[in-house]
Amino acid sequence: MNDSVFVGELSWKEYEALVADGQRVLFLPVGALEQHGHHLCMDVDVLLPTAVSQRVAQRIGGLVLPALPYGYKSQQKSGGGNHFPGTTSLDGATLSHTVLDIIRELGRHGVRRLVLMNGHYENAMFLVEGIDLGLRELRYAGIDDFRVVLLSYWDFVKDPQVIAQLYPDGFLGWDIEHGGVFETSLMLALYPQRVDMSRVVDHPPATFPPYDLYPIDPSRTPAPGTLSSARGASREKGELILEVCVEGIAKAVGEAFENAP
Amino acid sequence: MNDSVFVGELSWKEYEALVADGQRVLFLPVGALEQHGHHLCMDVDVLLPTAVSQRVAQRIGGLVLPALPYGYKSQQKSGGGNHFPGTTSLDGATLSHTVLDIIRELGRHGVRRLVLMNGHYENAMFLVEGIDLGLRELRYAGIDDFRVVLLSYWDFVKDPQVIAQLYPDGFLGWDIEHGGVFETSLMLALYPQRVDMSRVVDHPPATFPPYDLYPIDPSRTPAPGTLSSARGASREKGELILEVCVEGIAKAVGEAFENAP
Amino acid sequence: MNDSVFVGELSWKEYEALVADGQRVLFLPVGALEQHGHHLCMDVDVLLPTAVSQRVAQRIGGLVLPALPYGYKSQQKSGGGNHFPGTTSLDGATLSHTVLDIIRELGRHGVRRLVLMNGHYENAMFLVEGIDLGLRELRYAGIDDFRVVLLSYWDFVKDPQVIAQLYPDGFLGWDIEHGGVFETSLMLALYPQRVDMSRVVDHPPATFPPYDLYPIDPSRTPAPGTLSSARGASREKGELILEVCVEGIAKAVGEAFENAP
Amino acid sequence: MNDSVFVGELSWKEYEALVADGQRVLFLPVGALEQHGHHLCMDVDVLLPTAVSQRVAQRIGGLVLPALPYGYKSQQKSGGGNHFPGTTSLDGATLSHTVLDIIRELGRHGVRRLVLMNGHYENAMFLVEGIDLGLRELRYAGIDDFRVVLLSYWDFVKDPQVIAQLYPDGFLGWDIEHGGVFETSLMLALYPQRVDMSRVVDHPPATFPPYDLYPIDPSRTPAPGTLSSARGASREKGELILEVCVEGIAKAVGEAFENAP
Amino acid sequence: MNDSVFVGELSWKEYEALVADGQRVLFLPVGALEQHGHHLCMDVDVLLPTAVSQRVAQRIGGLVLPALPYGYKSQQKSGGGNHFPGTTSLDGATLSHTVLDIIRELGRHGVRRLVLMNGHYENAMFLVEGIDLGLRELRYAGIDDFRVVLLSYWDFVKDPQVIAQLYPDGFLGWDIEHGGVFETSLMLALYPQRVDMSRVVDHPPATFPPYDLYPIDPSRTPAPGTLSSARGASREKGELILEVCVEGIAKAVGEAFENAP
Amino acid sequence: MNDSVFVGELSWKEYEALVADGQRVLFLPVGALEQHGHHLCMDVDVLLPTAVSQRVAQRIGGLVLPALPYGYKSQQKSGGGNHFPGTTSLDGATLSHTVLDIIRELGRHGVRRLVLMNGHYENAMFLVEGIDLGLRELRYAGIDDFRVVLLSYWDFVKDPQVIAQLYPDGFLGWDIEHGGVFETSLMLALYPQRVDMSRVVDHPPATFPPYDLYPIDPSRTPAPGTLSSARGASREKGELILEVCVEGIAKAVGEAFENAP
C-alpha cells in the first residue's frame, strides 16, 4: 500500500478506501506566489503550509490535497504590496470559488473533515467566504455534516517562551513578519537551498500609519520587500517553530472535529 | 447654502460645486446589521462610522456618502458568528461590487479622494477587493488619479494612555471588543437612547482556539452575543474615544491625500 | 420593551422575540442616491419609502429593515438620466444580489413575510430578480413558505379624486413625476428642511420620444433635472398622499399575506 | 448581390461591405418563449419584433440580427406569470450579458448604430443594463461613438385615432395587452396560421392589486393565460398596427441617430 | 391539433399536454452567427442542427425548442477565428448560463429528456458546463431524473462507405470541415437559396501547427474564411448526410434515454 | 545566480531581471486532480506538463510558473467521468478566471510571452476563454503586445513512425489514452515510483456512442477508470515521447513568438 499522505500521489482506489467512512481529515494548503525579499524564493507561502500539513497529516493519519499555489493580492502592511514583479495574485472571487468547488467535490467523495491550512495572510477572508459558499451548497445537496477548520499555522506559535526564543530582542507582531525571522527560519529548516542568507537586507521594521492608501505608495515598503529583517533567522528556530506548529495543530484539529456539534 | 456634510442632504447643484475640483474628501461609512448583545441595538456598526465620518468631514471640509447598512458575515471571534437572528449579512462579492459601483460613479462625478470608514471588522478585506476592482476599472476608463483611504476607526485609538483610561484593568485586544466597553461607550456618548445598560450581561472575555470551525459551534460564543463585558462602559470614555478618533483621522486623512504619489 | 419599528434600533433579543413565529411583516425600503432637481436633496428616494414603511409598520405591527441607500441607474425618462453629478447608482446585478442576500438571511431568522417598498422607479425589475433568486435559494434550503410583496408606494395613489386634488390642472403620468409635485409635496410634509421651494425651476413637463437613446442626449432632460415642475407642491398635498399611501398599503399588505396561497 | 436584410442570410463579405462605414443601422429583435393564451403560439414575442425589424430595415436600408429567442421571466401583471408550462425564461444577468456580448462584437465589426427592438415587456430593464455594460466596455476599448436605440414597438401606437380604431370600446392599457387584441391582430396579419381564433377564451380584463406577490398566486391570472380577451382582434387591425409601427419606428430611428450627440 | 414539432409554434396548452408525462424528448439546437466563407450565409450553424432536430423529432415524436442563435467564439483551427466581421460570439459563461436557465425551466415544466443538438464545434464544452450547472440546480430542487444527451450531428457520419462517398479523394478530418463539402452539401440539400456555389473559393485545405496562438495570426486562415474547399459539395451528398444523421440520431437518442441509469 | 527555471524558486529580484525586457517565455502548466486507473497516481496531469515545461524552458531559456493543480470536470469519453472519488474538478468559470487573473498579473510584470501547457484534455476550452478574457482586459489597460500560445503536449506526437513505435498494434486515438500507454510510459520515464505496473488492469479499449449522456452512466467507463490498457507502457516509450514533445514544443514555441503578428 502506498503510504504517502499526498492525495496526488495516491491512486483513486487507495484514496477511496481511505476516505470512505468520512472520518479522515484532509488538509488543503493555501498559499501564494509572492515576493519574500531578496533572500527567499517566491513560493514560501505554498511550501510552508504544505510542509506543516504533511507533518500533521502523518501524525494524525490525514491526507494532503494539492496546494493552491496562487493567493489573494498582497497587502502593503502584511506582504509589502501587490506592485512587485513576481507577485501573482487572484481576484477574491476566484480564490473563493476555487475553495467552493473543492468543497463540493470533497463532499461528493464522502469526505466530511477538511482543514484549510493557510500560508498567506491575505487569503484568510476569501477562504472564509469559499467555505461559507461551499457549506451552503452542500446543504442544498442534502449534506449537513461537513466540517471545516480554517487556520493559519503561525497562530499556533503563542507560547511566550517560544516567542522569546525566536525574538530575544522583542516580538513586533505577526503583521510585519513577511520574509522576516519567522518565515526565513522555517525555510532554513525545511528548504535551506531556497534561502540565500547573504542577500538578507537588514533594515528596521516597517512602520505604517493606521490606514491603507490605494493605490499604495511603494516607497513605504522597505526596498527589499521584507517588512522586518531576517538577520536573526536560524535553522534551529525553524525547527522549533515547526515542532510547535505541528504539535499544536495536530492536537487542535483532533479536538476540533471530535467536539464539533 | 446648505451646509450639511451629508451628500444625501444636498441638492445635486450644491454637490456638483463642492466636488468640481476633485480635491474634496468623500467619506463612505460601511457598517453592518449585526447583533451587539442584549444591551445594544443592531445598527451600531453603521451609526458609529457615520458619526465619526460626520465629525471628521466637518473638520476638514469633507462630505459623507450614505452609509452601507449591510456588511460581510459576522465571524465568531470578532462578531459572535453569523447564526444570530437579526444579523443580516451579504456575500463578499455583493459587498465588493457595491464598493466598485460607487467608486465608478464617484470617478464620473469628478471625485478623486475617497475614505472608506469601516465600522464592522469583517468587512475589511471585501472593501479592499472592491477598491481594487474599482481602481482597475477607473484605469480602464483613463482615470488614474483616484485615491482611496481605507480605515477602521478603532485603529486610531493606539495611545497607551488612552488605552489605559479605557481599560484600567488591562486591554484584551480589539478582537473581543464586540459589544464591549469600546462600542458601548461610544454609543453612550452618541446615541444613549439606544443603549440599555441594565441589560448588559457581565461575562468573562470570550476565548477562542487559534483556528475557526465551520459551521461554527454556537456554544463558544457567550450567550448574549458580546465577546467581552460592557460593564465598564461610560459616556466619558465614549467622548474620549470619539475625540481621539476624530482628531487622529482628520490628521491622517489630510496627510494621506497630500502625500499620495 | 423597545417599541421602535426599526430593526436597527432593536437588540437581537427583541428582534428574535418579534419574528419568532414568522407572522410579522418586515419592510425593506429600497431607494437611490439621485439628483432630484435644484430644490430637493438627493436621498428623497430613500427617505420617502422609509417614512411610508415606518407608518405602515406602526399600523400593522411590522418592522422596518435598514433601507438600501443606492439603487439602479437613473433613466432619462423617469429620473433624468444617470449623467448627473451626485447620482450614484449600482449595476443591476449588485442590487439584485443585495436583495437575494437579505432574503436568504431573513429566511434563516424565521421571517416569512417581507415587503419591498420601492422608492426609485428604476429599481423595480432588479428587485423582482433579487426576489426570484432569493426565493429560489430558499427553496433549495427547504423553505417554501416565504412570501414577498413588492410595491412602489406611488402606485397606491389611484383614486381619481385624490389625483384631481393633487393635479388640478391635469395629471401627466407618474413617468415625469421626478422631483415634481408628488415627491416635493411628500418632502414638504415629512422633511421640509430638505426642500428649498425658492429654487424650484418652473419648466414645462419633459417630453420624450417613444424610445431611449444610449448614451443619452443630456439636452433632452430639463436643465434642473426635474421632469415636471414642483411649483404646485404643498405640505397639504404631501399629507394627503402620505395618508392615502399608508392606509392603502397597510390594507393591501394585510390582505396579501392573509390570502397568499 | 444578396438583398436580404437578415444578417444571418448574408455572407460575411456582403455583411462586411454593408457595415464598413459604421452608418448602417442594425436591429436586434429581443423576444421570449412565453405562453400567449390558448389561441396563440408561444413565440409571438419573437415573431412580432422580427417582422417589424425586417420591415423597418427594408425601408431605411438596415440589417436585422438573429433575434434573441428567450427573454426575462414573465410577470403576472404583464405576461400572466412565469408558472405556465412552456414559458421558458432567462435570469436577468444571462439576458444582459447576451446583449453585452453582442454589442462588444458589433463594435469590433465597425457597427456604430444598433436598435434593440423589444417584443417582450419584461425584457426592458435587462436590455438597458446590457446596453450600459456594453457601452462601458466599448469605452474601455476606446470606442465612444457607438449608439443604441432601445424601443418596444407597441410604444409607437399612440395616436388616439388609431387607439380608437383598435379599441372601439375603450383602451385598457398596454399592461393587460398580453395575448389580447393587439398581439393577436398583428399575428393575424403576419402569421395567421399560428392563430386559432376558435380557441380564444373571452374573459373580462384581468385586474390586479397595486403590488406584486411572490411566489405569485396563479389564480389571479385568467385561466387561459391572456390578460384581456382577443375576441376583437382582426387582420385589418393587425395591418394597421404594423403600418403605424413600421412608419413610426423608421422615422424615429432615422432621427435618433442623426441627432445623437 | 397543431402537429408542429416546434415548441414555439404550439400553444401552451398543446405543449403542456405533450410534455406532461416527462417521456417526450425535447431538442435544443445550438448554433452560432459565424462566417462560413464567401459562398454561405452566416447562420449555417443554426439552420443545420435545427433541420436535423426537426427531422429527428418528427420520427420519434419529439419537440424542438427555439435554437440558440449565438455561440462561443470561433477558433482558428475549427472556424477560422473570431476576427471576421459578422462572426458574433458570446462569452463562455453567457452560453453556459443560457443552457442552465433553459434546463431549470424545462425541469419546472415536467420535461425530463433533453437533447442538445450542437451545430458549432466551439460550443461543445460550454454546453457541457451548462448541463452540469443545470443538473446540479435541479438536484438542489429535488429533481434527479432529468437526462440530457449532448451531441454534434456530424459525429453520426462515421460509416467508412459514407465518408468515401462524400470524400472520394480522401477525408481530411472534421476539424477543417468549416464551410467545406460537408456543410455546403447539407445547405444545398436544405437551403439551396442560401448557397452561392459560384463564389466558392477553391483553396488547399488549411494546415495549422499543433498549437494555438492568441491573438491569432489572421494570415493563417485561408482568405475566404473556409478551412477546406467546398467545390466537391452537392445536393446529393447533403441528402445522404441528412439521412445518415437523422437515422443515426433518432436511433441513438431513443436508446440513450431508454437505457439511462 | 539561482539558475532554476521555476518561478517559485526565484527571488523577485532574480525574476524581475529575467522578465524585464518582455522577451522571456513563461510556461504555465495546467493540470487536474483526476483518477488515472488503479496503477497511476492522481496528479499525472500536473506532473507531466510540468516536466515538459521544465525541459522546454531549460532549452529555450524560459521560466515555469507554478502549475494549476485542479482542472475542469473529467468527461467520460476522455477521462472516465467526474463521478470517481478523488477526481476533484473546478467549474469552468473558476478555471477561466484563474487564467485571466494570472495573465493580468504577468502583464503588470512586463511579461509578454506566455505558454499554457495543458495536461488535461477537458481544460482546453476554458483555457481558451481565460486567455480571451485576459487579453481583452490587457487591451483595456493599454497592453496589446501580449502573446499566448496554448498547447496540449500530446499534440506534438504526430510522426507516424513514433506512433508506430508506441503502438505497434495500431493507434486508437488520443481520446482513449487516459491512463493508457502514453501517460503511463511518460510516468515510467519520469516518476516510476508513482506507477505500479502490477495493478494495471488489462481491458479492451473503451468504446462510446457518438453522443454524451448526463448524468453519465458509470457502467460505460471501464471499471478501473482507464480508457485503454496500459500494459504496453514502458520507460523507453516514455523517454521517446518526452524527447519528441520537448523538441517539438521548443521549436514550435520559438517560431510562434518570433512570427507572431
**pLDDT tens digits, one per residue of E198-240:** 999 999 999 999 999 999 999 999 999 999 999 999 999 999 9
Rounded to the nearest angstrom, the minimum Cα separation between E128 and chain F is: 9
Average confidence score pLDDT of chain D: 96
The answer to whether the beta carbons of residues C27 and C57 sit under 8 Å apart is yes
**What is the pairing mode between strands A147-152 and A113-118?**
parallel
Q: Which of D83, D158, D214 is the mutation pick for testing C, counting most C CBs within 10 A?
A: D214
For residue A1, tell me if it sits in a domain: no
Q: Which of C11, C114, C137, C221 is the mutation pick for testing B, counting most B CBs within 10 A?
A: C11
Q: What is the pLDDT of residue F200?
A: 96
Catalytic-residue membership of F178: yes
**B-chain residues near A103 (CB < 8 A):** none
Over 80: is that where the pLDDT of C31 sits?
yes
Q: What is the mean pLDDT of residues C148-165?
A: 96
The helix (H) or strand (E) run that includes residue C129 is helix C124-140
pLDDT in tens, D1-43: 578 999 999 999 999 999 999 999 999 999 999 999 999 999 9
Is C210's CB within 8 Å of D132's CB? no
**A-chain residues near C140 (CB < 8 A):** 140
Q: What is the pLDDT of residue F186?
A: 98
Please give the residue of chain C at the shortest CA–CA distance from E143: C140
Q: Residue E74: beta bridge partners?
A: none
For residue F2, tell me if it sits in a domain: no
Domain region containing E69: 7-259
Alpha-carbon gap, residue D46 to D64, rounded angstroms: 13
For residue E1, tell me if it sits in a domain: no
Q: What is the pLDDT of residue C248?
A: 98
**Coil, helix or strand for B200?**
coil
Q: B and E: touch, per 3+ CB pairs < 8 A?
A: no
Q: Which of F129, F136, F137, F143 is the mutation pick for testing D, counting most D CBs within 10 A?
A: F136
Domain CATH code at residue B118: 3.40.50.10310
Over 80: is that where the pLDDT of F4 sits?
yes
State the Cα angle at C25 between C24 and C27, rounded to 5°. Answer: 145
Over 90: is that where the pLDDT of A173 sits?
no
**D-chain residues near E86 (CB < 8 A):** 7, 10, 12, 15-16, 109
Is F42's CB within 8 Å of A8's CB? yes
Rounded to the nearest angstrom, the minimum Cα separation between A98 and chain C is: 20
ipTM above 0.90, yes or no: yes
Q: What is the pLDDT of residue E175?
A: 80
Over 60: is that where the pLDDT of E52 sits?
yes
Is F217's CB within 8 Å of E259's CB? yes
Q: What is the mean pLDDT of residues A193-197?
A: 97
Residue F166 grid cell: 508506441
Count interface pairs A-C at CB distance under 8 A: 4
Nearest to D96 among C92, C215, C252 (CB): C92
**F-chain residues near E213 (CB < 8 A):** 147-150, 256, 260
Q: Which of C138, C212, C246, C247 is the mutation pick for testing D, counting most D CBs within 10 A?
A: C212
Over 80: is that where the pLDDT of E42 sits?
yes
Q: What is the pLDDT of residue C48?
A: 98
The answer to whether the beta carbons of residues E238 and E106 sit under 8 Å apart is no
**Coil, helix or strand for F254?**
helix
Query: Residue F25 burial by CB count (10 A; 0-12/13-18/19+): exposed, middle or buried?
Result: buried
**E-chain residues near C139 (CB < 8 A):** 141
Kindly indicate the confidence band of residue C62, based on its pLDDT and cuts at 50, 70 and 90.
very high
Over 60: is that where the pLDDT of A1 sits?
no
Is B66's CB within 8 Å of C35's CB? no
Q: Residue A114: beta bridge partners?
A: A26, A148
Helices (H), A61-193: 76-79, 92-109, 124-140, 160-166, 181-190
Q: What is the pLDDT of residue D168?
A: 94
Q: What is the pLDDT of residue E176?
A: 86
Q: What is the pLDDT of residue C164?
A: 96
Rounded to the nearest angstrom, the minimum Cα separation between C136 and chain E is: 9
Q: What is the pLDDT of residue E144?
A: 97
Q: What is the pLDDT of residue B2?
A: 73
Q: What is the pLDDT of residue D73?
A: 98
Q: What is the pLDDT of residue A213?
A: 98
Q: What is the pLDDT of residue D175?
A: 80
| Angstrom distances, CA of residue D113 to CA of A188, C155, D131, D144, E86 | 64, 36, 12, 12, 15
Q: What is the pLDDT of residue D6?
A: 98
Chain E adjacent subunits, 3+ CB pairs under 8 A: A, C, D, F
Q: What is the pLDDT of residue C257?
A: 96
**E-chain residues near D89 (CB < 8 A):** 101, 105
Asked if B199 has any chain C CB less than 8 Å from its own CB, the reply is yes
CB under 8 Å to E134, separation ≥6 — which residues? E99, E100, E102, E103, E104, E107, E146, E148
Question: In the sheet that E212-214 helps form, which strands lie side by side, from edge to edge?
Answer: E212-214, F147-152, F113-118, F25-30, F63-64
Is E68's CB within 8 Å of D67's CB? no
Q: C and B: touch, per 3+ CB pairs < 8 A?
A: yes
pLDDT in tens, E133-166: 999 999 999 999 999 999 999 999 999 999 999 9
Catalytic-residue membership of D45: yes
Please give the residue of chain A at the shortest CA–CA distance from C142: A140
In this structure, how many other beta carbons lie within 10 angstroms of the beta carbon of residue B61?
A: 11
Average confidence score pLDDT of chain F: 96
CA dihedral F70, F73, F75, F81 (to 10 degrees): 90
Q: Within the 177-196 window of chain E, which residues sit less than 8 Å (CB to CB) from chain F?
A: none
Establish whether the linkage from the previous residue to D66 is cis, with ω within 30° of 0. no
Q: What is the pLDDT of residue D173?
A: 86
Burial readout A40-59 (b: 16 or more C-beta within 10 A, e: otherwise): bbbbbbbbbbbbbbbbbbeb
Length of chain D as a residue count: 261
Q: What amino acid positions of B are annotated as catalytic residues? A: 34, 36, 45, 120, 122, 178, 183
Over 80: is that where the pLDDT of C2 sits?
no
Over 90: is that where the pLDDT of C173 sits?
no
Establish whether the linkage from the previous residue to A85 is cis, with ω within 30° of 0. no
For residue D107, tell me if it sits in a domain: yes
Q: What is the pLDDT of residue D172?
A: 85
Is C105's CB within 8 Å of B98's CB? no
Asked if F13 has any chain A CB less than 8 Å from its own CB, the reply is yes
pLDDT in tens, E83-123: 999 999 999 999 999 999 999 999 999 999 999 999 999 99
What count of Cα atoms within 13 Å lies in the side-chain half-sphere of residue D169? Answer: 8
Count interface pairs C-D at CB distance under 8 A: 121
What count of Cα atoms within 13 Å lies in the side-chain half-sphere of residue A64? Answer: 26
Query: Residue B142 burial by CB count (10 A; 0-12/13-18/19+): exposed, middle or buried?
Result: exposed
For residue D130, tell me if it sits in a domain: yes
The helix (H) or strand (E) run that includes residue D165 is helix D160-166
Alpha-carbon gap, residue D8 to E191, rounded angstroms: 13
Helices (H), chain A: 12-19, 44-60, 76-79, 92-109, 124-140, 160-166, 181-190, 235-259
**E-chain residues near A140 (CB < 8 A):** 140
Q: What is the pLDDT of residue B174?
A: 84
**F-chain residues near A218 (CB < 8 A):** none
The answer to whether the beta carbons of residues B213 and C28 sit under 8 Å apart is no
Question: How many domains would you assign to chain A?
Answer: 1
**D-chain residues near F139 (CB < 8 A):** 141
Q: What is the mean pLDDT of residues E50-61?
A: 98
pLDDT in tens, C125-143: 999 999 999 999 999 999 9
Is F214's CB within 8 Å of E148's CB? yes
Over 70: is that where the pLDDT of E1 sits?
no
Q: What is the pTM of this model?
A: 0.98
Phi, psi dihedrals of residue E88, rounded to the nearest 5°: -135, 105
Kindly indicate the confidence band of residue E167, based on its pLDDT and cuts at 50, 70 and 90.
very high
The answer to whether the beta carbons of residues A260 and A209 sit under 8 Å apart is no
Residue C182 grid cell: 408628488
State the Cα angle at A26 between A20 and A29, rounded to 5°. Answer: 155
Q: What is the pLDDT of residue B30?
A: 98
Q: What is the pLDDT of residue D93?
A: 98
Average confidence score pLDDT of chain E: 96
CA dihedral E69, E71, E76, E82 (to 10 degrees): 80
Q: Which of E175, E214, E217, E219 is the mutation pick for testing F, counting most F CBs within 10 A?
A: E214
Average confidence score pLDDT of chain A: 96
Per-block mean pLDDT, blocks of 10 residues, chain B (261 long): 89 97 97 98 98 98 98 97 98 98 98 98 98 98 98 96 94 88 98 97 95 97 96 97 98 93 84
Q: What is the pLDDT of residue E55?
A: 98
User: What is chain B's Cα-based Rg?
Assistant: 19
Rounded to the nearest angstrom, the minimum Cα separation between B96 and chain A is: 9
For residue D183, tell me if it sits in a domain: yes
Q: What is the mean pLDDT of residues F143-160?
A: 97
**C-chain residues near D249 (CB < 8 A):** 211
Q: What is the pLDDT of residue F136?
A: 98
Q: What is the mean pLDDT of residues C12-38?
A: 97
Chain D adjacent subunits, 3+ CB pairs under 8 A: B, C, E, F
Fill in the DSSP letter of residue D37: -
For residue B146, tell me if it sits in a domain: yes
Is D73's CB within 8 Å of C147's CB? no
Angle between helix axes C235-259 and C44-60 (nearest 10 degrees) is: 60
Alpha-carbon gap, residue A226 to A37, rounded angstroms: 5
Residue D84 grid cell: 405556465
Q: What is the mean pLDDT of residues C6-34?
A: 97
Q: Within the 133-162 window of chain C, which residues sit less than 8 Å (CB to CB) from chain A?
A: 137, 140-141
The answer to whether the beta carbons of residues D46 and E66 sit under 8 Å apart is yes
Q: What is the pLDDT of residue F109?
A: 98
Q: What is the pLDDT of residue E80?
A: 97
pLDDT in tens, A27-65: 999 999 999 999 999 999 999 999 999 999 999 999 999
Place of cell 447564526: B83
Q: What is the pLDDT of residue F239?
A: 98
Nearest to D211 among C75, C149, C213 (CB): C149
Average confidence score pLDDT of chain C: 96
Q: What is the mean pLDDT of residues F203-218?
A: 96
For residue E218, tell me if it sits in a domain: yes
The answer to whether the beta carbons of residues F189 and F210 sit under 8 Å apart is no
Nearest to D66 among E10, E11, E69 (CB): E69
Asked if D89 has any chain E CB less than 8 Å from its own CB, the reply is yes
Phi, psi dihedrals of residue A118, rounded to the nearest 5°: -85, 135
Q: What is the pLDDT of residue A2?
A: 73
